[in-house]
């Protein structure tokens, strides 16, 4: 309810949270260290240990997922956590804390502190904190990273993105349209990994846009508590105004062509509703193409050559995600190999199974969450040398 996301979407949140808890609890029991035989009869081993007291700072767009992705591995690997949810969406974290306690988690192991950024700052700076995991904007993430480094805390960051979705000429256009909608309209476009730079091969551009407009026009926008609603309101008035400002920039400054939507609607409800905005005739230097909007603003660009679209897709300071649609699997693997993004999809978009690591390159993040790669983020490695023979003294004369 805090986010405005419809039940149509949020019904998947609880099962996803259960998957994460089950996976991380299993990983903690099975991921151990190494036994290493050494010359001279000695041997050694490594062991995983808890980091200690950790801080999680969550985002407002996926409040339950954010709390689970941070707390489940933290607790599974023996850490305690202080979690600060966004001040816009605090309810899920508070409910999660009650569930943990009802399940038998000792008091004080998972703690929730609510408030704005002024609450998060002292948590990051506190000498008693050993690890910080933050999800949010690039600007705030840079501040968190700088503060945490002063005391050499371990840090995981999941930040913004301006991700490319590349659609080749041999693509099933219906599937590509579905993916583009998921990559732009889901959660009212308020998703960091969204593929808002949609590169469409010139030969299928017109048909793609036609099918996209037709499918988008059929979406049900309205009350998020109504099970038939597919798109709910934006999270807050000021965020709605920010997105509307970018739509104005696209029309008036960038001179892109707004072929659908981009209007404030259902104003009589008191909610912050927006019709999805589709821009064509976009170029790489436009602000709506370069800057993260975090709303339902899709920029469609055309291409003809693989090398050209690859270079253009990588020409960004972000590197969170990328998607490729093609029936040529050799080309698909060649593209994702060269795309500068931490999380990529072939012939799908925005799926995030907990078994796979989630990470960003460049200004989009640091470290990984989920998958076995997340083990590094929530534990520390200790080395133990075991001597099985007598110690030879270097100080005794021969």
- Provide the annotated active-site residues: 70, 158, 192, 369
Q: Which phi and psi angles does 194 have, rounded to 5°?
A: -55, 140
- Measured between alpha carbons, how far is 183 from 199 in angstroms, rounded to an integer? 13
- Measured between alpha carbons, how far is 304 from 175 in angstroms, rounded to an integer? 20
Angle between helix 306-314 and helix 329-338 axes, rounded to 10 deg: 30
How many helices (H) and strands (E) in the chain? 13, 22
Q: Are 333 and 281 in contact (CB under 8 A)?
A: no
- Measured between alpha carbons, how far is 140 from 121 in angstroms, rounded to an integer? 10
Q: How many CA atoms are closer than 13 Å to the CA of 266, on its beta-carbon side? A: 16
- Measured between alpha carbons, how far is 318 from 291 in angstroms, rounded to an integer? 10
What residues form DSSP beta bridges with 56?
83, 133
Exposure string over 51-81, b if 16+ CB within 10 A, otherwise e? bebbbbbbbbbbbbbbbbbbbbbbbbbebbb
* SS3 call for 232: coil
Instruction: Please give the order of strands across the beta sheet that includes 343-346.
Output: 257-260, 277-280, 297-303, 197-201, 164-167, 321-325, 343-346
Q: Which phi and psi angles does 66 have, rounded to 5°?
A: -60, -45
Q: Are 198 and 174 in contact (CB under 8 A)?
A: no
Residue (of 295, 319, 288, 287) closest to 161 by Cα position: 319
Q: Cite the DSSP H helix spans in the chain.
A: 7-10, 13-30, 63-76, 91-102, 117-125, 138-149, 173-185, 205-217, 237-248, 287-290, 306-314, 329-338, 375-378
């Amino acid at each position: 309810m805090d986010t405005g996301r419809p039940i149509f979407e949020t019904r998947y949140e609880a099962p996803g949270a259960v998957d994460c808890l089950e996976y991380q609890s299993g990983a903690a029991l099975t991921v151990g260290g190494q036994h290493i035989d050494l010359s001279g009869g000695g041997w050694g081993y490594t062991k995983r240990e808890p980091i200690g007291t950790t801080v999680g700072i969550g985002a407002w767009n996926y409040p339950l997922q954010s709390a689970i992705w941070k707390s489940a591995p933290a607790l599974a690997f023996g850490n305690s956590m202080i979690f600060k949810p966004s001040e816009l969406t605090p309810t899920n974290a508070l409910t999660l804390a009650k569930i943990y306690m009802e399940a038998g988690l000792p008091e004080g192991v998972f703690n929730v502190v609510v408030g704005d950024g002024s609450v998060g700052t002292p948590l990051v700076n506190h000498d008693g904190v050993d690890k910080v995991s933050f999800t949010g904007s690039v600007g705030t993430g840079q501040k968190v990273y700088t503060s945490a480094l002063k005391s050499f805390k371990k840090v995981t960051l999941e930040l913004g993105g301006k991700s490319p979705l590349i659609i080749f000429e041999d693509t099933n256009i219906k599937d590509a349209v579905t993916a583009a909608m998921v990559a732009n309209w889901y959660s009212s476009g308020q998703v960091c990994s969204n593929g808002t730079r949609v590169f469409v091969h010139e030969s299928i551009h017109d048909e793609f846009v036609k099918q996209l407009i037709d499918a988008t026009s059929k979406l049900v926008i309205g009350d998020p508590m109504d099970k038939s609603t597919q798109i709910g309101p934006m999270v807050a008035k000021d965020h709605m105004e920010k997105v509307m400002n970018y739509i104005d920039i696209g029309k008036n400054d960038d001179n892109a062509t707004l072929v659908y939507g981009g209007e404030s609607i259902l104003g009589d409800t008191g909610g912050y509703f927006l019709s999805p905005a589709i821009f064509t005739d976009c170029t790489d230097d436009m602000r709506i193409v370069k800057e993260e909007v975090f709303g339902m603003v899709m920029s469609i660009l055309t291409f003809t050559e693989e090398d050209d679209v690859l270079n253009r897709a990588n020409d960004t300071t972000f590197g969170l995600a990328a998607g490729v649609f093609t029936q040529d699997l050799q080309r698909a693997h060649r593209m994702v190999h060269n795309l500068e993004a931490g999380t990529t999809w072939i012939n799908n978009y925005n799926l995030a199974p907990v078994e796979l690591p989630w990470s960003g390159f460049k200004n989009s993040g640091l470290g990984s969450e989920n998958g076995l790669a997340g083990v590094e983020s929530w534990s520390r490695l200790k080395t133990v040398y075991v001597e099985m023979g007598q110690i030879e003294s270097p100080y005794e004369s021969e």
